[in-house]
Amino acid sequence: MTVLLSRPFPSFRGGQTRRVTKSRPYTKTSVSCFKRDYTSVMIVPTGVGAAIGGYAGDALPVARTLSSVVDCLITHPNVLNAAMLYWPMPNALYVEGYALDRFAEGLWALKPVHQNRVGLVLDCGIEEELRVRHLQVADAARASLGLPLVEYVVTDTPLQVEKWIDPKSGQSTGRIKHPESLLRAVQALLKRSQVNAIAVVGRFPDDDFEEIDDYRQGMGIDQLAGVEAIISHLVVKEFRIPCAHAPALLPVPPCPSLCPKSAAEELGYTFLPCVLAGLSKAPQYSIKNSESEHGCILASDVDSVILPIDACGGPGALAFARSKANKPLIIVVEENETVLDDTPDKVGIEAIKVSNYWEAIGVIAAHKAGVNPESLRRNRISNLQRTPLLPTNGYSVQSATRSG
């Protein structure tokens, strides 16, 4: 049976949503013209060794820059989480990966909120001292940041997290031996505290220093990321609420030659702060139907999608690329390579290829302005081509006139 510890955080009201129209509202600009909001989705798959976004929040600068160009940025924890570090972006939506795929497929809608009631699940396999560290971080987030964390629960059975690298794909993956323990803990929080977002801290096996040396040097694969995604996917699929995970690990000895893009994970005792900050205002997930769409963002509202060049084979990327309603512009970044091999040509989708994120954001700025991005390049605009008229019988008007 799940043990709900007698240490409740003060309760308060939250979860109120913004009131917006079904399709995004038109806003009047300073030059007295009307336009709808421009929405972009940024994807960097988890645990695939992405050159940018495969480490400790090193895609966050891209997200910050992109959020300054678009009206609404939709992205996922792998992009926004940086362990002890995070950056608030009022127009960015923190969407878990499983939910992002369902959103892209048009099955779920995103409902922005002012505030979520966040519940915390701690793996009972976490040692007492390490558990205290995480609870201190939770209290600090409540007192110093005002985050709406209301209560925590400890699982009745150790989750027993296992992780490994898939020998075929090169991706990090894994499992938890007792997923039912996690689900019981979440259910207890939902019943007792009426939370609508969940932060999970699982006790991960400690690595040999040799196993993580490449990662600490800014190379190789994040061995934690794959099973972290599996944990959050499980909760989101079962309860359809925002969820993110932070691993509990013993501190490792300092590394004098630590790569900057891996450094955020070695600043403290936990990775929890960014998760709590993201979940506090993560949008709620709603099954898409005519009644639930009011005030929601739909897949058809997305104007552009930006992702690594060889990571186009995921469910979300394919769903956006094959959309028949308001198909978004797909932009792939050559500089951001992963261990995957799902290029646009191989998966059969149309995409604009750019060298780096500088170029990608320039393309999005042009697209938002209603400018053909090719017109910003040298000699990219050719003469306008003529298309012959084809009547319903299949013969061109010109040919029919001559034969008559």
Please give the pLDDT value at position 392. 62
More confident residue, 135 or 266: 135
Q: Residue 141 in contact with residue 152, Cβ under 8 Å?
A: no
pTM for the model stands at: 0.86
Integer-rounded Cα radius of gyration of the chain: 23
Q: What is the 3-state secondary structure (H, E, C) of 315-348?
A: HHHHHHHCCCCCCCEEEEECCCCCCCCECHHHHC
Residue 401 binned pLDDT confidence (cut-offs 50, 70, 90): very low
Please give the pLDDT value at position 210. 63
Please give the pLDDT value at position 176. 96
Q: What is the mean pLDDT of residues 220-243?
A: 95
Strand partners of residue 306: 42, 331
Residue 217 binned pLDDT confidence (cut-offs 50, 70, 90): confident
Please give the pLDDT value at position 4. 52
Q: What percent of the chain has pLDDT over 90?
A: 72
Please give the pLDDT value at position 308. 98
Please give the pLDDT value at position 291. 58
* Distance from C-alpha of 253 to C-alpha of 84, rounded to nearest angstrom: 17
Helix (H, G, I), strand (E, B) or coil at 228: helix
Residue 290 binned pLDDT confidence (cut-offs 50, 70, 90): low
Please provide the average confidence, as pLDDT, over all residues in the chain.
88
Cα separations (Å) of 382 from 244, 350, 373, 375, 388?
48, 20, 14, 10, 18
Please give the pLDDT value at position 266. 85
